[in-house]
Structure 1
Amino acid sequence: MKILVTGTAGFIGSHLAHRLLDRGDEVIGVDNVNDYYDVSLKEARLARLTVKPGFTEVRQDVADREAMAEVFKEHQPERVVHLAAQAGVRYSLENPHAYVDANLVGFMNILEGCRHNEVKHLVYASSSSVYGANEAMPFSVHDNVDHPLSLYAASKKANELMAHTYSHLYGLPTTGLRFFTVYGPWGRPDMALFIFTRKILAGEPIDVFNHGHHKRDFTYIDDIVEGVIRTLDHVAEPNASWSGQNPDPGTSKAPYRIYNIGSNNPVELSRFIEIIEERVGRKAQKNLLPLQAGDVPATYADVDALIDDVGYKPATTVDEGIANFVDWYRDFYKV
């Protein structure tokens, strides 16, 4: 198939593009390669893709309406995986407008491109952050998610609502994927595993929020990509038993689906740090801090819907995943 993937200079997008190309798909990769974090890392990810047959690089901003309309018109993708976004909960407190531009305007442009070019299926990245103030664990796609705690979370919830509208009005099959704390080789430098590894190896203290009592459903990158591909191949369909009298948030009468992709095994941050210490062979200097604004104390994914519909559940252990990341980090940065 010809598949448009946005965010191919990013962590998840680059891994996904490799998997799609390896199985014989043609990939149109869109990314504006912005400077939210180290551009050289993004360029290195792209360099591994541009040498592969079947990959076409397009440097454009998804928030550019005219440019995205032209991309869809020129390449006519059969399916779309939209991963480009302004990420980060804490950064949304500092630069909220970036989230409106990338996550709302950008997503609108993707929806319009799909609508006007007969795209057969749109899969897009949502986030576990949409669960916000929810406390019932594990988080289920059938739960109400109307109490986000950050603008980032609100923008992802808005994406789900916008997608449903297009599924309902235009019959566009859409699938939203709520990712749970993705980690692994080629990861983002603004995320905990990357920061902790770099600072521990450098002998610098690390900031540990919520005094290390955070619990996160850390999900390895290969598991995420497998989930994306399986849902991409499983085109969203209407739920014939859906009822407006007792509406299910995870499905619809329209061709619309929401899935969690998480390890289904939350790990306390303090234990996460211990595993990093074991792999790098050094102890961390910890600066214990309180819970930060916009953060949630725990995430835990119910993945029953993913298992039921596409027969998949992430299985990589945190020990294995961290080991792979540290090995990659040492090799890439020559540490």
Structure 2
Amino acid sequence: MALSADTHTSRTTTKLERYNSYIRRVNNTKLLAASSKLLFRATLLIALLLVLFFTINYPPLPADSSQFHTTKNFLSSALYGSGSGSAWEKQIRHSATPRRPNGFSVLVTGAAGFVGTHCSLALKKRGDGVLGFDNFNAYYDPSLKRARQSLLSRHQILIVDADLNDTAMLQKLFDIVPFTHVLHLAAQAGVRYAMQNPQSYVASNIAGFVNLLEVAKALDPQPAIVWASSSSVYGLNTEVPFSEHHRTDRPASLYAATKKAGEAVAHTYNHIYGLSLTALRFFTVYGPWGRPDMAYFFFTKDIIQGKPINIYKTPDGQEVARDFTYIDDIVKGCLGALDTAEKSTGSGGKKRGPAQLRVYNLGNTSPVGVGRLLEILEGLLNVKAKKRVITMPANGDVPFTHANVTLANRDFGYKPATDLATGLRKFVKWYVGYYGVQARVKKETQAS
């Protein structure tokens, strides 16, 4: 009996040990599974935070401007598309609220650009509300655009850093502010660059414009839209001075073709949806805070640095000439177009009646040869340029532009008032101050 009891006790103990071992294994397995899930979630959260951090602080360098802000578009939509960011929304409203009776609330696209900066300042100065919109792409030195942004910030003008193709961001902005007007100046600029990166022109000048119009058509009320076309649309036209009644169906560059396409798109959205649209064909705008890819700008830089300058002539020996238009005159034209823009007639994507559709030239009416441009800059800088006269390459540029501004003068009193010598003097003063080259110019003058 004793042996039997011992055996029974031994068997019972063994079973208990096996059961306890089983329980421990089960608990360990559950603990391991729970720990794995926790570790996975923690790792995923850390990874997302790191992606967010590096996206904000170290954006990838784009291969071309059509990819400049793909990540930024997603990020901006994620941050603001859900209605978060009350402080950000407060800044938007503060910037866009007019300070004068019956003042406009204007969304200025391309606000960090040359014309956009000057127009934003002029609108704010007279008491309108202004909100900027720009993607700060790298077509030319973004630091100049950031400097313009700082200038606007000092005048209580906020720029939203986003792309025209970011539908969620545009919709969000219109949800926050019922803009009365849009001054659409954002575009991929430059004639020659189109040969290197054609897709950037399609993405910005056509797709971006269409996206803006798609958002605007659905609003109630719809804003009136004034936008930048270009004198380049006249292309191979030989009738001078260029009139809005002349042919524009023979563009000489892809840039010109996208601007002409924009005018056709504007006609469509005006006809179907009742959007009030005004196109402004700018003629070679120049002045302080200008674009570094323009001749007057890099001529100034090259003269100071002692680099040779190419002076183009046509294959038949004619001098290339442009209708150079000072920035202050362009700004007056833009504000005049805004002031005379009628309200859109649609709402919620439905047209209620005929809407205003206009096209205007904004130029100086006095073409000047590039050689004369260089002479004025030499005199202002007191430095003799090193010149090389070469035949104009087949890169899409046209040899001559000359604006007829009769329509703009009739409809909103547009009258250019700044001659090239006066305008360039103001530009050079800004240039030597901004880049700090006064001492270098004086040294070059002494050497001469």
The 5-angstrom pairing of residues 66-85 of structure 1 reads: 66-85=168-187
- CA distance, structure 2, for counterparts of residue 206 and residue 80 of structure 1: 39
Contact 1:29/1:56 (<8 A) preserved: yes
In the alignment, structure 1 residue 114 sits paired with structure 2 residue 216: yes
Q: Secondary structure at the match of 1:102?
A: helix
In the alignment, structure 1 residue 273 sits paired with structure 2 residue 379: no
1:39 to 137, 142, 152: 142
| Aligned residue identity for 2:339 | D
- CA distance, structure 1, for counterparts of residue 216 and residue 311 of structure 2: 42
If the length of structure 1 is used for normalisation, what is the TM-score?
A: 0.92
Q: Secondary structure at the match of 2:229?
A: strand
- Structure 2 residue aligned with 1:148: 251
- Structure 1 residue aligned with 2:124: 21
- Structure 2 residue aligned with 1:290: 391
In the alignment, structure 1 residue 65 sits paired with structure 2 residue 167: yes
Decide whether aligned partners of structure 1 residues 237 and 149 sit closer, same or farther in structure 2, where only a CA change above 3 A counts: farther
Q: CA deviation at 1:189?
A: 0.5
Q: CA deviation at 1:236?
A: 4.8
- CA distance, structure 1, for counterparts of residue 339 and residue 215 of structure 2: 20
Structure (1 or 2) with the greater helix fraction: 2
- Structure 2 residue aligned with 1:313: 415
- CA distance, structure 1, for counterparts of residue 200 and residue 168 of structure 2: 19
Unmatched runs of 5 consecutive residues or more in structure 1: 239-252
| Aligned residue identity for 2:332 | E
2:267 to 158, 161, 164: 164
Contact 2:167/2:215 (<8 A) preserved: no
Q: Secondary structure at the match of 2:313?
A: helix
Larger Rg over CA atoms:
2
| Aligned residue identity for 2:334 | V
If the length of structure 2 is used for normalisation, what is the TM-score?
A: 0.70
TM-align CA RMSD: 1.5
In the alignment, structure 1 residue 328 sits paired with structure 2 residue 423: no
Decide whether aligned partners of structure 1 residues 236 and 291 sit closer, same or farther in structure 2, where only a CA change above 3 A counts: farther
Contact 2:165/2:208 (<8 A) preserved: yes
In the alignment, structure 1 residue 127 sits paired with structure 2 residue 233: no
Q: Secondary structure at the match of 2:132?
A: strand
Query: Which consecutive aligned stretches of 4+ in structure 1 deviate over 4 angstroms post-superposition?
Result: none
Q: Secondary structure at the match of 2:183?
A: strand
2:306 to 163, 185, 203: 203
2:361 to 260, 269, 288: 260
In the alignment, structure 1 residue 99 sits paired with structure 2 residue 205: no
Contact 1:168/1:255 (<8 A) preserved: no
| Aligned residue identity for 2:159 | E
- Structure 1 residue aligned with 2:332: 226
Q: CA deviation at 1:75?
A: 2.4
Cα offsets for 1:192-235 (capped at 9, x unmatched): 01100000011111122227811100000000000000011101
- Structure 1 residue aligned with 2:107: 4
Q: CA deviation at 1:66?
A: 2.7
- Structure 1 residue aligned with 2:291: 188
Aligned length: 320
Unmatched runs of 5 consecutive residues or more in structure 2: 1-103, 345-353, 438-448
2:341 to 235, 240, 251: 235
Contact 2:191/2:254 (<8 A) preserved: yes
